[in-house]
């Protein structure tokens, strides 16, 4: 197996929150990400799914160095990125880029498309203006836009085209990994497939890796090679995408699959096995964090934190049922 592009080990992020009155102030911790491990291979898409508040966006922010992890390491092509400085740090920032959910708020309305896409080049390279112009035209063509749209402003584009511009900006610096934070959720249904297909095409031609964050299991499973499922800050299951859909092991993954909407009215409908809502990350349940909603919880689940281990080849799960 080749060396992974990105390897995350024991990643933790706790956010402090003040509780109590003015005099009895004390600090509690929101455990947003708790000991998450995964690796992304070259030309691979790793899907990251979970419900709101499960820590998937925090994980993305940690990888993008927008937040400093409380503990753990992030390795990029072998180097620990938390220790990078100067040129090496700039190289990392160049190689790892992001596309956000809402292309209406992630592109500056005052900048021309050319300047939006060229900005990373101006920061990271000493290319001449002519070279930059050429590179911008090249990436615009890569994402399926005409090079002559470079002089327009974002408001002149539809949502799907804006998301293409955001992808072009993320690609312009010879990127190796793009963090895609729900890149199609804000788009019209008829446009989503365009963007998904474009992303797959770019991966096939450029060999770029994706961390694809989403909550729609069918969509994430479609584009991803492997899928990591998060619940309340913990990574509960990680497996090959088709394997995960066919043989989900963790009761939470099983519930997500049941909750997924059918593709046809004749698909059989099971009732959801889990009740209630995600507990507060401020006071997560003891032991396995899912035990309060789990239909198969045992006394042990409330006491012992399950460790994620291989239950099948390339299929790991954090659940006492499979110990």
Interaction site with another protein (CB under 8 A): 51-52, 158-161, 188-194, 196-197, 200, 215-219, 221-222, 241-242, 245-246, 255-267, 269, 271-272, 274-275, 277-278
| C-beta atoms surrounding 123 within 10 Å | 11
**Nearest approach, Cβ of 232 to another protein (angstroms)?**
13
Nearer to another protein, 196 or 321 (CB): 196
Residue with smaller CB distance to another protein, 80 or 158:
158
Work out the number of other CB atoms within 10 angstroms of the CB of residue 208. Answer: 23
**Closest approach of Cβ 298 to another protein, in Å?**
21
Q: Spell out the residues 6+ positions from residue 130 whose beta carbon is closer than 8 angstroms to its own.
A: none
Residue 142: count other Cβ atoms within 10 Å of its Cβ: 18
98 vs 227, which CB is nearer to another protein? Answer: 227
**Is 63 or 184 the residue whose CB approaches another protein more closely?**
184
CB of 81 to another protein, least distance (A): 31
Which structure tokens are listed for 265?
């009215």
What minimum distance in Å lies between the beta carbon of 109 and another protein? 19
* 99 class by beta-carbon count within 10 Å (0-12 exposed, 13-18 middle, 19+ buried): buried
Contact assessment for residue 244 and residue 257, using Cβ atoms and an 8 Å cutoff: no
Q: Are 191 and 224 in contact (CB under 8 A)?
A: no
Count CB atoms within 10 A of the CB of residue 302: 13
Q: How far apart are CA 145 and CA 137, in angstroms?
A: 9
CB of 2 to another protein, least distance (A): 22
For residues 88 and 272, which CB has a smaller minimum distance to another protein in the complex?
272
């Amino acid at each position: 197996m080749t060396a992974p592009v990105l390897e995350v080990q024991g990643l933790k992020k706790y956010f402090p929150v003040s509780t109590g009155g003015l005099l009895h102030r004390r600090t509690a911790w929101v455990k947003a990400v708790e000991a998450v491990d995964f690796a992304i291979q070259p030309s691979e898409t790793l899907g990251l799914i979970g419900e709101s508040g499960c820590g998937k966006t925090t994980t993305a922010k940690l990888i993008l160095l927008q937040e400093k992890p409380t503990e753990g390491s992030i390795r990029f092509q072998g180097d620990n990125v938390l220790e990078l400085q100067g040129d090496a740090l700039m190289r990392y920032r160049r190689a790892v880029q992001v596309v956000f959910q809402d292309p209406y708020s992630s592109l500056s309305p005052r900048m021309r498309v050319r300047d939006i896409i060229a900005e990373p080049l101006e920061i990271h390279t000493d290319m001449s203006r002519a070279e930059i112009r050429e590179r911008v035209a090249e990436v615009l063509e890569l994402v399926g836009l005409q090079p002559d749209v470079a002089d327009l402003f974002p408001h002149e584009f539809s949502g799907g085209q804006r998301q293409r511009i955001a992808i072009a900006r993320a690609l312009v610096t010879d990127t190796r990994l793009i963090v895609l934070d729900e890149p199609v959720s804000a788009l019209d249904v008829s446009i989503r497939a365009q963007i998904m297909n474009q992303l797959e095409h770019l991966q096939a031609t450029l060999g770029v890796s994706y961390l694809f964050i989403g909550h729609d299991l069918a969509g994430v499973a479609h584009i991803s090679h492997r899928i990591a499922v998060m619940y309340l800050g913990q990574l509960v299951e990680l497996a090959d995408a088709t394997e995960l859909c066919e043989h989900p092991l963790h009761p939470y993954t099983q519930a997500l699959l049941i909750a997924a909407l059918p593709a046809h009215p004749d698909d059989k409908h099971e009732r959801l096995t889990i009740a209630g809502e995600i507990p507060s990350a401020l006071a997560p349940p003891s032991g396995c964090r899912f035990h309060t909603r789990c239909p198969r919880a045992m006394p042990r689940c409330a006491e012992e934190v399950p460790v994620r281990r291989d239950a099948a080849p390339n299929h790991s799960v954090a659940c006492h049922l499979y110990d």
